[in-house]
Amino acid sequence: MQTVGLIHTLEQCLNRMQTMGLIHTLEQCLNRMQTVGLIHTLEQCLNRMQTVGLIHTLEQCLNRMQTVELIHTLEQCLNRMQTVGLIHTLEQCLNRMQTVGLIHTLEQCLNRMQTVGLIHTLEQCLNSMRTVGLIHTLEQCLNSMRTVGLIHTLEQCLNRMSHSAAIEPPLARSRTLRARAQLTGSASREAKEPLSCVAACHTAPGSGNTASSLTVSERRLDSCSGL
């Protein structure tokens, strides 16, 4: 990372994040994560990841995605997302993010990453990961995460982040972070809806879930439009 200049770039990125008040918010978020036990749960999760060999396999990976037909499933999932109007809703959300300046900041960050060669390095990393069975291991990891309650804890954390007045930012940066909090809260609430990305992947086109899917999409649209 030092060789390709990533450390220096991360410092610049963190400085930029500090400017828009993100660091302070992240500190509050980490404190709340600690409150609901997420930090301790993440430690347990990492231990379980080590147990199932994930840490060791990170030197290798993504070819298994093709083997388990994940690529094809993702294509079906994206198609179904388009069908229920989620893609259009995401575009509106991104437009609102652009309005509060988040997209521009991300573009600058990505441009800096490209400048120091990080994008190319990530491509090399993915190629190295392509060699063995990380996807299968990730499935085991997710099962382990669910076993130790991480998934449920993350939902609780997002709920606390979205509903607590304690993380309300100062006035100077309230617009950006309020929009972020609303988007996060919307994603958290929708995680409990009958239709999720995973559910969509496993729902046949003619299964009769189109109406409920559209309802979820409309809720997403309302959430974004309310920013």
Confirm whether 62 is domain-assigned: yes
Q: For position 217, what pLDDT does the model report?
A: 42
Question: Does 113 fall in a domain?
Answer: yes
- Greatest mean pLDDT among 78-82, 133-137, 190-194, 213-217 lies in 78-82
What does the pLDDT average to over 197-213? 40
Instruction: Assess whether pLDDT exceeds 50 at residue 117.
Output: yes
- Whole-number average pLDDT of the chain: 50
Query: For 150-170, what is the mean pLDDT?
Result: 51
pLDDT class of 49 with cuts at 50, 70, 90: low
Q: Which two tokens stand for residue 137?
A: 């291991």
In a domain, 180, yes or no: yes
Between 19-33, 109-123, 132-146, 211-225, the lowest mean confidence (pLDDT) is in 211-225
Q: How confident is the model at residue 17 (pLDDT cuts 50, 70, 90)?
A: low
Instruction: Name the pTM for this structure.
Output: 0.17
- 95 band by pLDDT with thresholds 50, 70 and 90: low
| Calpha distance 77→224 (Å, rounded) | 21
Side-chain half-sphere exposure of 206, counting CA atoms within 13 A: 0
Domain containing residue 12: 6-225
Nearest partner of 83 among 4, 162, 201, judged by Cα = 201
Determine, yes or no, domain membership for 1: no
Structure tokens at 46: 């990492």
Count the alpha carbons within 13 Å of 122 in the hemisphere toward its beta carbon. 8
Instruction: Determine contact, residues 132/64, Cβ cutoff 8 Å.
Output: yes
> How deeply is 93 buried, as exposed, middle or buried, from its count of CB atoms within 10 A (0-12, 13-18, 19+)?
buried
What is the SS3 assignment for 106? helix
Domain annotation covers residue 40 = yes
**Within-domain flag for 193:** yes
Q: Buried (b) or exposed (e) across 202-220, using 16+ Cβ within 10 A?
A: ebeeeeebeeebeebbeeb
Percentage of the chain beyond pLDDT 70 is: 0
Which SS3 state, helix, strand or coil, does residue 62 take? strand
Number of structural domains in the chain: 1
Q: Which residues contact 201 (CB under 8 A, 6 or more apart)?
A: 73, 74, 76, 77, 80
Comparing 37 with 196, the larger pLDDT belongs to: 37
User: What is the SS3 assignment for 223?
Assistant: helix
Quick one: what percent of the chain has pLDDT higher than 90? 0
Measured in whole angstroms, how far is the alpha carbon of residue 71 from the centre of its chain? 18
Range name among 8-12, 129-133, 198-202 with the lowest pLDDT average: 198-202
Neighbours of 38 (CB within 10 A): 20
